[in-house]
Amino acid sequence: MELKHQLPAEHTRRKTGKLFFLKKELLRNKYVYLMLIPVVAYYLIFSYGPMYGLVMAFQKSYSPIKGIWAGEWIGLDNFKMFFDSYYFWRIIKNTLILSFYSILFGFPAPIILALLLHEVRKKWFRSTVQTVSYMPHFISVVVVVGMLKTFSALDGGLFNVVRSFFDMQPVMFLAEKDMFRPLYILSNIWQGAGWASIIFLAALSGIDPQLYEASKIDGAGRWKQLLHVTLPGIMPTVVVMLILRLGAVMNSDFQKILLMQTAPTYETSDVISTFVYRSGILEGNYTYSTAIGLINGVINFSLLLMANSISKKVNSTSLW
Amino acid sequence: MKRSAGEYLFDGFNVLLLCCIMAISIYPLLYVFNSSISDPDALMRSRSLMLLPEGFQLEAYKVVFQNPKIYTGYLNTLFYVIVGTLVNLLMTSLAAYGLSRMDLYGRKTLMKLITFTMFFGGGMIPTFLLVQNLGLVDTRWAIIIPGAISTFYFLIMKTSFESIPESLIESAKLDGANDFLILFRIVLPLSKSILAVMTLYYAVDHWNDFVGPMLYLRSQDLYPIQIIMRDILISSSTESMGAGADTGFAIGENIKYATIIISTLPIMLVYPFIQKYFVQGALIGAVKQ
């Protein structure tokens, strides 16, 4: 009997305790909470709002007038339609191949540049190379693609002038499906390698100079030092950057690809994001393209989780 | 310490390689610049690498400067850069200050919810429909509000705010200052260099923004310079080039090159002087990762 009476009393006491605490906390930090109102509102509307909008992926169509819950529920039909479509393998393949080549050629480029810069003794030369090689980073993607376009003009474009030196026929580079990947990756390296080297340079400057001294005493030359001191020294940074990159393997530079691609190159250039754009925004298949976006987002998220747990085991470096 | 022959070879090869890298970095811009001031006919016939301009004219620049689309595009971009960056800085500072208060109830939950948005989101279509439903499409706000906080920059700023000694804030509180005063009078003035970095990063993002305007803007008079440049450079729209019948077709290529120079030159000239802030930003970002 007594126990029965006691329980609710205890419960209410705890509740008022918590309420009392909350009230006190709200009052004490009232200005901080006031500051966070627009922040929370922003994230709720512009980050979680679209996530809520993902329910469209399970509907037949979207009506701007009736709202998000009025659509006819069709379960996983949108996903099935995508898996069965001719484009499914093409855009998955293109996204992965482009990422694979970008990592293969693009990822080592800034590391090599940083290593070269690290070996320079003259400070002025080093900072000159840095300033110059960072420069392309500040050119907008639109201009870079614009440059690619003018350079690949059939008549007197730079690329075709160079081809003519080797007695090769002029080629419409941006309309050749086999040229899309090399152009995309090389221009990315041209634009981004310098800037990306900053992170590795910082890691290099963090290596303990005593290690170099010690290896010198042991008779190691510059090459040996590079292999046994420098490279191990930046490995943790390299691994973290690689994990980040692998986590984004299903992501592609939507902006640049969209600007670069032409209908004749869709076979190699069409990736998930450009497909979603065309099918969603241009053709109005909102629910279908939302479903494709959702698949992409889920894969990306799980890839990142996987990459992170691998790195935890291998290197004891984690992103969080 | 004396250098051996091997060392000299190592260094010489290294310098040579880096010189090649510099040449590759600069050459495309040099080519564009030389082409822009070359004579249109010479440019059409030219099959050279354009290490020097062929002939000389500034007609193309005149056409570009007189093109009303480029003019309004520049003004619009200026608006997006200035207002957008101000909104970014305000919102990011509020978020960074609020969530750097260690004693705040619910801080951890909020942080988790915010960090999650870096790794997962609704994607292009739901975001587009949301912006449309909010009635922002084809207004300047569509460019400014949906990206008001970059979570990545917010994390950088928060880390920086956390390094400010707590005792400073405590003593200001004892003196009766509220959190707004503390943020604007103590924390922000102490964070000038991180503010400079954030300003630069946000401003460059706005300057380069192309996808936002492409998705959300319909009226030509709201277009930023990047959209105008897409029309000129990639879609080769002669109407956007401002090249009417009087300027002739031949100068079209020169106009493209001149447009590239005009849109790129300002940042190229300013950048070497503010490079250290950019580098600082890239480094803080890396440490954060």
Together in a domain, A29 and A99: no
Together in a domain, A171 and A223: yes
Neighbours of A78 (CB within 10 A): 23
- Give residue A12's pLDDT: 56
- Give residue A216's pLDDT: 86
- Asked if the structure places residue A66 within a domain, the reply is no
pLDDT in tens, A28-41: 889 999 999 999 99
Together in a domain, A135 and A254: yes
pLDDT in tens, A255-291: 999 999 999 999 999 999 999 999 999 999 999 999 9
| pTM for this predicted structure | 0.87
For A67, phi then psi, to 5°, come to 90, -175
Is A166 exposed, middle or buried, given 0-12, 13-18 or 19+ CB atoms closer than 10 A? exposed
A117 vs A127, A134, A229, B277, CA distance in Å? 9, 13, 16, 20
Together in a domain, B224 and B288: yes
pLDDT in tens, A107-124: 999 999 999 999 998 899
Is the pLDDT confidence value at A61 over 60? yes
Together in a domain, B116 and B150: yes
Expressed in angstroms, the distance from the first to the final Cα of chain A is 51
A188: amino acid identity, one letter: N
CATH code where residue B88 lies: 1.10.3720.10
Interface test with B, best of A68, A128, A143 (most B CBs within 10 A): A143
Chain B residue with Cα closest to A189:
B25
- What's the distance, CA B85 to chain centroid? 10
User: What residues in A contact B120, CB-CB < 8 Å?
Assistant: 51, 297-298, 300-301
For A139, phi then psi, to 5°, come to -85, 135
All residues at 6 or more sequence positions from B285 whose CB lies less than 8 Å from its CB, including other chains: B152, B156
Block residue for tokens 């450079």: B233
- Reading the block at residue B45, the tokens are 């016939």
Is the pLDDT confidence value at A1 over 50? no
Contact with chain A for residue B86, Cβ under 8 A: no
Nearest to B235 by CA among A260, A197, A228: A260
Together in a domain, B40 and B87: no
- Asked if the structure places residue A299 within a domain, the reply is yes
- Give residue A68's pLDDT: 77
User: What residues in B contact A146, CB-CB < 8 Å?
Assistant: 229-230, 232-234, 256, 259-260
If one compares A251 and B19, the residue with the highest pLDDT of the two is B19
- The answer to whether residues A207 and A217 touch, using CB atoms and an 8 Å cutoff, is no
- Asked if the structure places residue A65 within a domain, the reply is no
A304 vs A81, A242, A294, CA distance in Å? 27, 11, 15
Together in a domain, B133 and B171: yes
Expressed in angstroms, the distance from the first to the final Cα of chain B is 38
Report d(CA B215, CA B231) in Å as an integer. 15
Q: What's the pLDDT band for A193 if we cut at 50, 70, 90?
A: very high
| Beta pairing partners, A67 | A63
Together in a domain, B6 and B126: no
For chain A, what's the residue count? Answer: 320
- What's the distance, CA A268 to chain centroid? 20
Q: Which domain holds residue B275?
A: 59-289
pLDDT in tens, A214-227: 988 888 888 888 88
Q: A89 to chain B, minimum CA–CA distance in Å?
A: 21
Tell me how many domains chain B contains.
Answer: 2
- Asked if the structure places residue A232 within a domain, the reply is yes
Nearest to B257 by CA among A146, A58, A139: A146
Together in a domain, B164 and B103: yes
CB contact under 8 A, A289 and B125: yes
- Give residue A157's pLDDT: 85
- The answer to whether residues B10 and A223 touch, using CB atoms and an 8 Å cutoff, is yes
DSSP string covering A201-245: HHHHHTS-HHHHHHHHHTT--HHHHIIIIIHHHHHHHHHHHHHHH
Contact with chain B for residue A20, Cβ under 8 A: no
Report d(CA B114, CA B248) in Å as an integer. 55
User: What residues in A contact B279, CB-CB < 8 Å?
Assistant: 134, 198
Is the pLDDT confidence value at A316 over 70? no
Q: What is the mean pLDDT of each run of 10 residues along chain B (289 residues)?
A: 75 94 94 91 80 88 89 94 97 96 91 93 93 95 95 91 91 92 94 89 91 95 94 81 57 87 86 82 64
Together in a domain, A115 and A205: yes
- The answer to whether residues B54 and B42 touch, using CB atoms and an 8 Å cutoff, is yes
Together in a domain, A41 and A92: no
Nearest to B156 by CA among B182, B193, B131, B116: B193
CB contact under 8 A, A35 and B50: no
- Reading the block at residue B221, the tokens are 């008079």
Share of chain A above pLDDT 70, in %: 93
Together in a domain, A44 and A82: no
Neighbours of B9 (CB within 10 A): 12
User: What residues in A contact B122, CB-CB < 8 Å?
Assistant: 47, 49-54, 293, 297
Report d(CA A114, CA A121) in Å as an integer. 13
- Reading the block at residue A94, the tokens are 């293109």
- Nearest neighbour of B91 by CB, restricted to A42, A151, A164: A42
- Reading the block at residue B288, the tokens are 């954060």
Contact with chain B for residue A294, Cβ under 8 A: yes
For A4, phi then psi, to 5°, come to -60, -40
**Using alpha carbons only, what angle is made at residue B199 by residues B75 and B68, rounded to the nearest 5 degrees?**
10
Together in a domain, A54 and A81: no
Together in a domain, B246 and B171: yes
Together in a domain, B176 and B237: yes
Together in a domain, B273 and B250: yes
Together in a domain, A268 and A161: yes
CB contact under 8 A, A48 and B117: yes
Nearest to A161 by CA among B191, B46, B30, B88: B46
All residues at 6 or more sequence positions from A231 whose CB lies less than 8 Å from its CB, including other chains: none
- Give residue A164's pLDDT: 87
For B220, phi then psi, to 5°, come to -60, -35
User: What residues in B contact A259, CB-CB < 8 Å?
Assistant: 210, 230, 234
Together in a domain, B41 and B21: yes
If DSSP codes are grouped into helix, strand and coil, which group holds residue B251? coil
If one compares B280 and A127, the residue with the highest pLDDT of the two is A127
- Give residue A49's pLDDT: 95
Is the pLDDT confidence value at A15 over 70? no
Q: Which domain holds residue A177?
A: 77-315
Together in a domain, A82 and A47: no
Together in a domain, A48 and A81: no
If DSSP codes are grouped into helix, strand and coil, which group holds residue B203? helix
Neighbours of B110 (CB within 10 A): 18
- Asked if the structure places residue A141 within a domain, the reply is yes
Report d(CA A177, CA A262) in Å as an integer. 9
Together in a domain, B131 and B47: no
For chain B, what's the residue count? Answer: 289
Tell me how many domains chain A contains.
Answer: 2
pLDDT in tens, A128-150: 999 999 999 989 999 999 999 98
CB contact under 8 A, B146 and A46: yes
- Asked if the structure places residue A64 within a domain, the reply is no
Together in a domain, A279 and A140: yes
Together in a domain, B244 and B175: yes
- Asked if the structure places residue A22 within a domain, the reply is yes
CATH code where residue A229 lies: 1.10.3720.10
- Asked if the structure places residue A68 within a domain, the reply is no
Together in a domain, A22 and A131: no
Out of A59-73, A234-248, B230-244, which region has the weakest mean confidence (pLDDT)? B230-244
DSSP string covering A273-286: HHHHIIIIIIT--H
Contact with chain A for residue B179, Cβ under 8 A: yes
**Domain boundary residue among A58, A86, A103?**
A58
Neighbours of B238 (CB within 10 A): 15
- Give residue B242's pLDDT: 66
> Cα-atom radius of gyration of chain B, to the nearest Å?
25
- Reading the block at residue A151, the tokens are 């350079």
Taking each helix axis from N to C end, the angle separating B192-208 and B252-288, rounded to the nearest 10 degrees, works out to 140
Chain B residue with Cα closest to A202:
B283
